Amino acid sequence: MSGPDLPRPRPGRLYRLAAGTVFAGMDLLRWRIEVEGLEHVPPVGGTVIVANHLSYVDFFTVGRAPYERLGRPMRLLGKASLFRTPVLGAVMRAAEHIPVERGAGAEALAAAVAALRRGELVGVLPEQTISESLELLEFKTGAVRMAQSAGSPVVPAVSWGTQRALPVYGPYRPALRLPVLVAYGPARTVPLDADPEVVTAGLRTEMADMLHRLQHRYVDGLPSGARWVPARLGGGAPTAEEAAARLADLQEQWRARLERRRARAARRGTAG
């Protein structure tokens, strides 16, 4: 299929409303968002954007340039629990984001592959949760596997700076005139015979290099002891080892919740 014939999915009304509201908030606070490498994002066709996860607004900082400059809304793979909240859940469903149940991602993978085949831009945060250490956590292979199945390219993306306004550790602050850097790397396809583990590991290495480059050219520097600076660079964020230990505890909690949900579903099925 030639380029002009590829589908160009458009954002719905609720997607435009939610994105416009968040972007207006960024503009009101006069965030200084600098973007590089947008030419690596294909203007049409199913594409997987793989991004790091520093704060609660990564989706918006990484998704803004493709949306505003290329007319491409990004469908996010997000925690299923978010879709069950009264207001946010309705918005996420209306925007056609894709829910992911922790420990049960087969349905989400199938939905993402279907979206890619429709020509959608699908955003994936392969670390699964916000990195308290501000270093890249281990990546899950889902992003690579969905791109491989759909025959779609993968584009790495990293951002730096948003953790100063909306960190996982709190407190939140307005962060007037916050500098935010966003970079996109070259797209690559995943051959059908490639090992997803190997491709994912290579992608993570490339994104770590991209992130380190952004950190070292950040306009506000890397102040010693600052909570928003990694311990590796003299900052006050938890070390990678401390963050890994906390993540292991969280993963155990997630597994326990998943087992409880499965047990409740089994009891309902028996009762029915």
Joined tokens for residue 181: 């850097």
* pLDDT at site 272: 59
Nearest to 129 by CA among 121, 140, 119: 140
Task: Categorise residue 15: left if φ over 0, alpha if ψ from -120 to 50, beta otherwise.
Answer: alpha
Nearest to 124 by CA among 237, 70, 181, 203: 203
* pLDDT at site 2: 41
Task: Give the SS3 label for residue 42.
Answer: coil
* pLDDT at site 36: 98
* pLDDT at site 95: 67
Regarding beta strands 154-160 and 179-184, do their DSSP bridges make them parallel or antiparallel, or are they unpaired?
antiparallel
Joined tokens for residue 138: 């281990």
Residues of the chain short of pLDDT 70, as ranges, are 1-7, 82, 86-88, 90-92, 94-95, 101-105, 169-171, 271-272
Radius of gyration of the chain (CA): 19
* pLDDT at site 59: 86
